[in-house]
Structure 1
């Protein structure tokens, strides 16, 4: 059966999945890229972006689980673009002509637009739908493979609250943001629904895996 999976989702020590003040120039607000330096240092990231080198080890092993077995993705409007992207008919996402998804990708927005076919097998579809309905659409498109729940934190929280996430991989980064969008709000007792595994990395981050 097709599962819903979250991978490589970084949060601060105080639970924020993104900072305050998101914009075109600051996709993660005042957090900048501090939540993701663990991943950008890996060979996985170098391979995905066409670079060289990169580390392996614990962080690389977790990062590489992002892709295998995924047949579709669902993401929130805030992952696809900065605030106000819906007003720009030319906006095509952050990732250039060949986004790194290579599957049907469903963007949840209250202002849908026609589907956008990109290079490399990615097609963005824009849905105004609640989590369960969006997941059902993505699972059908995934052809028996799993669906990746791609963020941001508001959307991941909504899918968790609806009981739709089967596998959740979080990366706790040792920084304090103080403001932004928190993942955990309203999810008290969530851990009771999952087996939880904790793995510390030499980079200083902690990988937390929640498996239903």
Structure 2
């Protein structure tokens, strides 16, 4: 069985999406600045971005992320692996080339169970948004947390840790890579 990894980019002040998230501004106004390191970065940034897919057998994401991302992800759905969308709104699966988005309405644990089954021995990566990631951390479902901290103070928007994640989530840093574009932090989740 693989590892459950929560992975997200954020500003130095904890913003994972700019203000006014919509289909026009899928990451909020100026939210694309949080992901420039993936496309305009150094070799070390490219290596950090590649880890998102290395060994990954399935993805879990929230409904808001799906709703604003599905069009830009294109005909192949970007992920090329099974994706499980945590939501309260049931929908039929959406197939985009090799990517199938399955909607799970009975909570994070059920989504993770389905993702693990689909991933086999591969990892399951839990992606945005912040609400979905907090739900998984609060439920103790995450083995590893990867934060890509962009050197930018956003000021306003969606904060990753704006809500509770539990009494305390203890982390052990296992890796760090610094570039001018981002600090890539990897933590083992201890509790």
Of 85, 90, 102, 2:80 maps to 102
**Cα distance 1:60–1:92, how it changes in 2: closer, same or farther (>3 A)?**
closer
Q: Which one of the candidate residues 154, 157, 166 is aligned to 1:180?
A: 157
Q: How far apart, CA to CA, are the structure 2 residues paired with 1:92 and 1:28?
A: 13
- Residue 165 (structure 2) pairs with residue 210 (structure 1): no
Runs of 4+ in structure 1 deviating by more than 4 angstroms, as ranges, are none
- Cα distance in 2, alignment partners of residues 34 and 122 from structure 1: 26
Among 165, 168, 178, the residue aligned to 1:189:
168
Name structure 1 gaps, 5 residues minimum. Answer: 43-54, 83-90
* Unmatched tracts of structure 2, length 5 or more: none
1:62-110 deviation digits (Å, cap 9, x = unpaired): 111111211111110111123xxxxxxxx95431111221111111221
Q: Tell me the CA shift for residue 113 of structure 1.
A: 1.2
Instruction: Answer yes or no: is the 8 Å Cα contact 2:58–2:118 preserved in 1.
Output: yes
TM-score (norm 1): 0.80
Superposition RMSD on alpha carbons, in Å?
1.9
Query: What's the counterpart of residue 62 of structure 1?
Result: 48
The equivalences for 1:81-96 within 5 A come to: 81-82=67-68, 92-96=70-74
Residues 137-180 of structure 1 show CA distances to partners (whole Å, capped at 9, x for unaligned) of 11111122211112111111111111111111101111112222
Bigger strand share: 2
Partners of 1:198 and 1:101 in 2: CA distance: 24
Distance of 1:59 and 1:124 partners within structure 2:
27
Larger Rg: 1
Kindly tell me the number of residue pairs found equivalent between the two proteins. 187
